[in-house]
Structure 1
Amino acid sequence: MDPRGYPIIAVIPQGPGEEDYGALSEQRKLVLATYDLCAVCALPFRDELRWQVTFDDQLQQMGEKPTFNEAPVHEVCALYAAQVCPFVSSPHARLGDSQRKGQRRAETLTLAGFTRTATVFGQDSELQVGKGILMFEMAELRGTHRLTGADDARDAYEAALRDEARIDPDDAERRVIDILCTPTPEGEDSGPVMAGAAWFIGAAFCPQIRQVQAMKRFAEAKDDLYFQIAANFLDKPDMMAEWEDASDASTAAAVSWFHTRESVPAVLRQWRADGARRVRDVRGRRPRPASATAVVPRDEAAIRRRRDAEAALRKARRRKR
């Protein structure tokens, strides 16, 4: 269980024949990006920073648009992983892919907190030849944790846990989370079916999504069925209401979630806007994606923590000068 009591969903087998058994599957990464959920606890981010794992001075070498092959997590979840995940918690962890086999990870773990996920897109993996993966481009660095040992990780975790604000998902969010964190009735991983539902509400328009091998079942469906449904939902969002009672629980949950949002996550909004530029109806007209003007409720405690993190980052930068 994660620090909030939810099942940890990050370490999920990807399925027969796929490498990196035990890594977060590409289907699940797509689901997390669609609903803007943490890759450890599966809860929404709200106003929390989004944290990624780096090592030594890797972050400084990434430039203005740092990009990661893993979905981001909450601060307390990143610090929890820094103690319990074999790879993140120990510099003695061995790298097992074909290009880095036998190498050790770097000594210093640097956790980086960003204000937002700028975009999510598919590209060829640098480590797995011939495989496409999802990448997360992060924006607006606001805080870091440099951890050189178990004591650092424990102290930072305990401090974050004391300040952690409770996250209460609404009914539609909890429905999505519960399905994602529970095997299907047949006892299989729920990630692929949840990815299909995410595809319908806009993930079909994620840039280069078709080159991600794990998505081929959707991209190559007969008559491009999955894409056509996504295009219809984009052009006629009212059609979604007819699917709220769908026999497939993940699809019903996805469209219900979409209809109850005052504002959909920025990444999904971007995908749908991209889709609107590509899709045409029978008369050649572009759809106008539904866009809410209401503002998501502010989490004042999270905003306060973000400002504290920004102040600490500025102070650290002044010390280096």
Structure 2
Amino acid sequence: MTDIADIPLSILDLVSVREGGTVAEALENGIALAQAAERLGLKRFWVAEHHAMEGIAGGATSVVLSRIGAATSTIRIGSGGIMLPNHTPFQIAEQFGTLDALYPGRVDLGLGRAPGAGPELQRALRKDLHHAAEMFPQDVAELRALLTGEPRLPIAATPGLGANVEMWMLGSSLFGAQLAARLGLPYAFAAHFAPTHLDEALEVYRSRFEPSAALEEPHVMVAMNLFCAETTEKAELLASSQLQSFVRLRTGTPGKLPPPVENYRDSLPLQAQAMLRQISVASATGTPDEVRRQMTALAERTQADELILAGATFDPAARIHSLELAVGALTAEHA
């Protein structure tokens, strides 16, 4: 039986901008969350790259991570992830090489393939994102070569060359699993919003894994949502802000993080309720005891080496309190 207290926990943050709030406020809230995570002994604090979304302030991911690194001292900082089609490998090698020089031995570089961009963003980025996504495997290999050193490359990234950056492959489908296995990289699955292919992707990754200089055996981190409170009803209320954002995103009306709504699920049409049930497969929502059981169940199902916890709340202090309750429950059970 899996002992959930022995599995390293981390935080995935979207740097959410809430209704009535500002980007500056969202960034300060992210710093406070990272400091709380460090105090509680969590392993990593990752920031996700999104663009042209008024409710998410982590677009300049490496800049945000630099500020998080300055405000903390031991927790690893990283991207969850950098959407590499939006960039060139050389730019990312420089950015994360700089982060490693500033915060040595603490930097993770999680890479994703989906640019998540429409025509307007393609024009703004001056990129053919469809073609760039097709080049993703080659770009990952080039990026790794820029960091580790490859004599055949005509140029060296400074900073970047020789940086002690831990590279990860992110995904929510079989493509990322296959590429992570072939390159011998650790693999993080985004089950917190797309759990459909979770089991199959992990099986593909583990069965096809090829050892590399960076990693001898498969290593899996699973992302899940966490909403913990003194009562189940309070936890469901906390979760309702993110659930509203998810429904709005899927129905083409994204925006800032809305305030919580009581009995939100029950107010939705059946189709939307079914959609939320699907993503709840990788969620822990409830009291500390309930959350511990749900986290244990997912860890046992996936045999994850690590878990990374998402879950935006309208009140930033409530997310920190949720994390404190959950960690306390896991620690108490272990003792």
TM-score range, shorter chain: under 0.3
> What TM-score comes out, normalization by structure 1 length?
0.28
Larger helix proportion, structure 1 or 2? 2
> What TM-score comes out, normalization by structure 2 length?
0.27
